[in-house]
Structure 1
Amino acid sequence: MLRQVFSNVAANGLAVEAVDLVKDFGDTRAVNGVSLAVPTGSIYGLLGPNGAGKTTTLRILIGIIDPSSGMRRVLGRENPIDAAPEVGYLPEERGLYPSMHARDAIGFMGALRGLPIAEGRKRADELLAQHGLGEWGRKSIRSLSKGMAQTVQLLGSIVHRPKLIVLDEPFSGLDAINQGRLEEMIRTEARNGATVLFSTHVIAHAERLCERIAIIAKGAVAFDGSVAEARDRLRPIVRLRTRASDGPWRSAIPASARREGDEYVFELPEGGPEPLLKALIDGGAGIETLAIERPGLHDAFVAIAGNQTAAEMGAQERPQ
């Protein structure tokens, strides 16, 4: 039955597919029935707190470990190892030889994926120059900052021009400048036709980069869809400031409205903004300001995954 389901979802246009992945480590279930469909050419994020099962899921998808049950397909191959030459992988645990020069480290990582070492070094020079980092090529890894070394390792993950790029917590420990550089590299690879699949516990990165996300909590997928679809689970928020303190217009505001300073804050009523505006004007509210805000991904995450999971994410986002 599972193979029947898998063959049905294995349509053109998907770089990564998974159906009911389960992974047990002894008595601990790290992945609990994860199903994913990652469109080719997309930037797709696995979003969830540390310990949610994101890393284990990624490792199953690219064949580092096998699932206890379930099926996966990577770039059309049911055995992910067959797709390895076309996959770039940046693990959460970083590892470069400290004595290597940056260009040699990038070339060496390309050689591990079948790229001739001379071609890898040439492409390393091109990649470093492309991103304004040409002077890094002759520097040893031990002389680079953590952010610089992480950038070198990312370039080593893409030097063989993979069709699929898998990044496990790529922003971890980076300052704002290096985070911005990494985000732009991800966008560049997607524009060049690669599919990017990355995990993160920082909601802002997923909101800025991703076309589609999967929210993972306690080893299971709580949501899989576009960022817009996640936001659309919540109604827009109205922020209203009026000159009048009371009057017939008050009936237009939901009883659940709260006060934040001089503003009333409430969900946009089902009828939309036009009936609300008419009721406020006809009722003599004396509108000073009225703003309608679309809920952010953080609000959607709380609604989908729950306050406790969101609190765990928030704690993990703060610098240690």
Structure 2
Amino acid sequence: MIKKNYKILKLKLYLNKIPLPGFEGISFLNLFQFLKEVFVKGNFAIRSAAVSFHFFVGIFPTLIFLLSLVPFLPVSGFQEYIINFSENLLPEVLHEKLENTINELFFKRYKGLLSIGFILSLYYASLGINTLFTAFSQSYQIKLKNNYLKQQLLSLFVFMCILILFILATLISHLNEEIFNFLFSSESNLFFQLVNFLIQIVLVMLGISLLFHFGNPKSGKFKLINAGTIFSTFVIIIASAGLSFYFKHFNVYNKIYGSIGSLLISLVWLNIVSYVLMIGFELYAKIDEIKNKFIKS
């Protein structure tokens, strides 16, 4: 028994000495203890369910809003770039459904969108972010809350920032492809895909950092690289890859539910993303709180 306790203590001391890259001095042991604490106090199941539902509701308004901007972008075939760019971000099953939806929406040519309908699309598209901010405000670490109007405006602002990031990422991806096709042979395709993937990771991290920064009323200086963002980004990537593998090889939803199965898969994925974002935010808020206390002292 004593020998077993000694081994556990030795393992804890070892894990406590290993700092995680980009986690601002947090060790493996610190991260494990933190995750254990937030799972007990976080009440993530209910909060992530609400957020994922509103994200789901906002998918089609977002697509309509985005595609209504296509005529103003100096790029032809933009919907194809959106489809190609989203291929690395979404599970394969969802990407296939998204491709069909984008093509359908694009070729319908919603001409009257720059009107009240356009404004409503913008509102509903930002609804998911607004709900996410509400979920962030329910964190046991957050004492200061934003008022209703300020949160609505912040939600719209962050939504527009993320939309601009998405458009930039799509255009950069297309530009990279053109450059690589011009300068290199087809043998460099793997390198091109790697560069594109790294650009996508950086832009996803920037989007998550914006969510965390504006979701915490007591946030200090904006930081792209922080523990919460790194944790959320890589867990979402791993979870998306795992979910894609599962539904590709063990999928029973479409067999049982038919086309409705795709909706269930979408909700499962959005729920996982919401869950991870809230855990990442707790980590971000915790470190921010410790830093603020240190500065005041």
What's the TM-score once normalised by structure 2's chain length? 0.28
Q: Larger C-alpha radius of gyration, 1 or 2?
A: 1
What's the TM-score once normalised by structure 1's chain length? 0.26
Structure number having the greater strand percentage: 1
Structure number having the greater helix percentage: 2
If asked which structure has higher relative contact order (CA below 8 Å, sep 6+), I would say 2
